[in-house]
Amino acid sequence: MTVGLPGFVILLRVIAVTAVVLVITTLAMLVIASLSPKSDFGVWTLANYVDLFSLRGLNSMLYRTLAVGLGTTTFLMAFALPFTWILSRTNFPWKKAFLVLLTVSLAIPAFVTAMAYVWLFNPNSGIMNHLLQAAGLPPFFNVYSVGWICFVQALMLTPAAVFMMLPAFRNFDSTLEEAAAVSGISPHRTFLKVVLPTLAPAVGATSVFFFILAVEIFDVVGVIGMPGNIDVVTTLVYQSTHTVFGPPDYGFAAALGMPLLALCALGVLIYLWLLRRVDRYAMLSGKNRAPMLHDLGRWRVPALLLIGTWVLLAVIIPFLTVVWTSLTPYLQPPSRSALSQLSLSSYYGVAGLVWSPLLNTLLLVLGTISFSIIWSVSVSWLATRARSLPDKIIDSVVFLSLAVPGMLAAVAIQFLALTAYHWVPLLGTLWLIIITMALRSLAFTTRTLNGSALQLHSSLEEAAYVSGVSRMRTFGRVFLPVIRPAILFAVLVTTLISARELTIPLMFYSPDTSVISTTIFDLQATGRYDEAAVFSLLIVALLLMVALVSHRRAIPSD
């Protein structure tokens, strides 16, 4: 049967296929780079892998990477699981306020918190160690350890993990619990035998997702790990592409990235397998009533203590440290002499530096959102409406791109840009950063839009077709307006993520493309802590506005 494809379906396919081609090219370039000497395309060598295997401490570095992932996930779940439970299934009185706090905390980028912890707890000049010395005690705190890296990462990832698990916990069918109760099973056993197994796939999927994130993000290992000489895969990749002497070695960086890529790919497969179980469990339950809320009773105090600890460590301490550091010329604990030195001089110092990074950050955010939304709307329409085999393959490839860590995607695309420089001179421009970040965001944005599009019955659009309205008009006047809340949510989250992204802009760093996050990283690395603090306050202020808007518009309170 020859049914002519409407031109607009072809248009969407072309848009979606460019994303797929870029994803596959990224992966291919990563492999090619790992087989090329330094930055030369077209010459083949196994030297990078030979170098990799003769790397001193390779095994301990890989174990350390794994330890960072597992440690972060463990600490993270220790906070996120009780928080999600409290927010969804108990009569905790201040749920709304806590949800606002979780959202607000998204405004503090992870590298800012990591910096604050370095300022507080580094063994030489850390504020806390100064305090101990003033009291006649030896310096006790040393932030440069795998444990601190895990802990700081966990603190920063907690809100995202809570938001990811919250829907599953809220949709939990409490009649399952009630059925156990009327069958004479104790609440304790019901929790262990009914509630936990039912929620296990959702919790497992979240854990795996954040494990992948924990081994690939550079924010914390870059700030705490590198100065402390704690090597993990991402710090070594960074160092081999940001060499002090000689050209960056993209070949070795790509080879280094292979174990990380394998780990993330495995993680994504497990994640997919768990997600399917989540869906199967969701189908089992029938009509949900409002879930039965447990009385916290005596547990109210421990719950408050846990929440208080997290708020103190993840929000209050980092924020106050940044404010304090921005006002003092060098790191020191509050004292009478420190108070006398307080000044706004670093604010004035920053004023001259701020415009170019600020403008670049805005362009970066706008560009990333535009590419991300155009791509994901096309992919989602094809995957949920056209639904032919090629469309499903496009959707799967986009989702599987989750397995390529941002840093490695950056290495591959930088290598590509270097190779193609004479034909497409994009090297050193914001475009590379924008495209890489948009590609990285696609797995999330397409998932968000697919979820929304699948919930809406396709008869909404069929009703327009049989009323004589064309595909294009129906797309613009029915499909897009109806999934608008999901698009808005995707835009807000992408804004938040891209404005505070450090890893990818840092990998493409050139003087013309400095953004606020890379500027902070540079100032911190060169010891200009006070100016780094001022810039941090700027990005926090900007993100706070986005976070508050997204809390009002998109994150459902109940």
Of the candidate residues 427, 469, 488, 554, the single one contacting other proteins (CB under 8 A): 469
Residue 388 neighbours by CB under 8 Å, 6+ apart: none
Binding of other proteins by 553 (CB under 8 A): no
Looking at the Cβ atoms of 46 and 460, the one nearer to other proteins is 460
Paired tokens of 87: 């927010």
Give the chain's radius of gyration (CA, Å): 25
CB of 387 to other proteins, least distance (A): 12
242 lines the binding site for other proteins (CB under 8 A): no
Shortest separation between residue 1's beta carbon and other proteins, angstroms: 6
* End-to-end alpha carbon distance in the chain: 49
Distances (CA, A) of 224 to 46, 153, 229, 244, 398: 32, 11, 9, 20, 32
CA distance 55 to 489: 44
The beta strand positions in 292-373, using DSSP E, are: none
Which residue number, 314 or 464, has a Cβ lying nearer to other proteins? 464
337 forms part of the interface with other proteins (CB under 8 A): no
Distances from the Cα of 425 to the Cαs of 429, 433, 512, in angstroms? 9, 14, 14
Contact between 389 and other proteins (CB under 8 A)?
Answer: no
Beta-carbon contacts of residue 460 (< 8 Å; ≥ 6 apart): 478, 482
Residue 466 binding other proteins, by CB under 8 A: yes
The residues that bridge with 90 in the sheet, in sequence order, are 294
Q: What are phi and psi of 249, to 5 degrees?
A: -100, 85
**By the 8 A CB rule, do 384 and 450 touch?**
yes
The site for other proteins, by CB under 8 A, has a size of: 23
- Asked if residue 459 binds other proteins (CB under 8 A), the reply is yes
2 near other proteins, rule: CB under 8 A: yes
Phi, psi of 136 (to 5 degrees): 80, 15
Taking CB under 8 A as the criterion, which residues in 472-491 touch other proteins? 473, 477-478, 481-482, 484
30/257 Cα distance (integer angstroms): 9
Q: Which stretch binds other proteins (CB under 8 A): 136-144, 202-210, 460-468, 487-495?
A: 460-468
DSSP class of residue 513 equals: G
Q: Which of 283, 468, 511, 558 binds other proteins (CB under 8 A)?
A: 468
Please say whether the beta carbons of 205 and 281 come within 8 A: no
Question: At 294, is the secondary structure helix, strand, or coil?
Answer: strand
Yes or no: say if 256 and 52 are a contact pair by the CB < 8 Å rule.
yes
Smallest distance from other proteins to CB 12, Å: 16
Interaction between residue 471 and other proteins (CB under 8 A): yes
Q: Which is nearer to other proteins, 5 or 266 (CB)?
A: 5
> Positive or negative CA dihedral for 427, 429, 434, 435?
negative
Q: Which is nearer to other proteins, 229 or 467 (CB)?
A: 467
Closer by beta carbon to other proteins, 75 or else 479: 479
Which residues 76-135 are close enough to bind other proteins by CB under 8 A?
none
Q: x/- string (CB under 8 A) for other proteins, residues 404-443?
A: ----------------------------------------
Q: Which is nearer to other proteins, 471 or 500 (CB)?
A: 471
Residue nearer to other proteins on the CB measure, 384 or 524: 384
Contact call for residue 313 and other proteins (CB under 8 A): no
Instruction: Point out which residues bind other proteins (CB under 8 A).
Output: 1-3, 6, 457, 459-460, 462-471, 473, 477-478, 481-482, 484
